[in-house]
Amino acid sequence: MHLKVFRIHSKLIELVWPNEINELILKEQLFVKNFLLQEYGEGIREIRMGFNTLSLKLKLDISPSDCLDLLEEIHQLPMDDVTFDFKKWTIPVCYGESYGKDLEKISKLHQLKPEEVIEIHSDPVYLLHFYGFLPGFMYLGGLDPRLHTPRKDLPERLIQAGTVAIGGRQTGIYPMESPGGWYAIGKCPIKLFDINNNLKNLPSLGDRIKFKAISPSEFESIRQESMAGKFTFTHD
C-alpha cells in the first residue's frame, strides 16, 4: 500500500494515496476507513474521503510521532485479500436537446457525433468513490478518456436537479439545483436525493453506477412515477 500521512494541525491529519482514480485505491480507502472507525472511532470526530485521500478530524491532539505510528500500523494491515460486496445501480438518462444542452458542445470539442458521446458515456460501469460538493452529489470514476473535458471557464449560475454532466475526468449527477461548471449532457428523471425520504436508499461508496439512455417519453413517464412515489430506485 503506497500511503503517506500529513499532520495538517494537531487535530487534523490526512492520509494520501497516489494521485490516481482507480478501484484498488478505493478498496484500500474503505478498508482503512473501517479499520480506523473500529479501532479509534471514539477519538474521531469526522472522516472525509476524496479520490485519493482520507481526512481525519480528531477530538484530541495527535503528535507527529503518533502519526508515524498510525501509518506504520496501517501499513501492517492485511490488504491482499480485501473484498467488499458492492451493488450495481441503473440510472435512466435522457440525453441532449433540452435535457442536456451541452451535448452538442461536447460532441464538437471531441469531434464525435452526439450519438457517439451518448454511447461512450452510457457504456461503462462507473465506480462511486465518494459524495461531495453537494449533499448526494456522487463523484464517479470510470469516465472514458475520450470524454475528459476541462470544466467551463465561466460556471453556469443554475444547473437543474437531475442534470447529468461531465467535468474534467469525472461525470456525475446534480442532486439539486446549483451553480456549476460542468457540461450538461443529459438529465435523470428520478429524484435521487431526498433528505426527508430516501437517504437509506442511496448508493454506497464502492457501488457501481450504470447509465441507461431513455427517450423523452420514457423520461416523462418515469418522472411522473417518481413524483407520485411509485418509482422504486433499485439495484442488482
CATH code assigned at 21: 3.30.1360.40
Q: So what's the pLDDT on residue 198?
A: 54
* Choice between 200 and 156, residue whose per-residue pLDDT is larger: 156
Could you tell me if 91 and 209 are in contact, meaning their C-beta atoms sit under 8 angstroms apart?
Answer: yes
25 located within any domain: yes
Where residue 118 falls among pLDDT bands split at 50, 70, 90?
A: very high
- Residue 133 reports pLDDT greater than 80: yes
* Mean pLDDT taken over the chain: 91
Sheet containing 4-9, strands listed edge to edge, beginning at the edge strand earlier in sequence: 4-9, 12-16, 53-58, 44-49
Average pLDDT over residues 144-170: 95
Could you tell me if 212 and 122 are in contact, meaning their C-beta atoms sit under 8 angstroms apart?
Answer: yes
- Domain range spanning residue 70? 4-76
Please check whether residues 131 and 179 belong to one and the same domain: yes
Residue 204: DSSP 8-state: P
Average pLDDT over residues 81-94: 87
Q: In the listed set 49, 76, 103, which residue is the last one of a domain according to the structure?
A: 76
* pTM of the predicted model as reported, rounded to 2 decimal places: 0.87
82 located within any domain: no
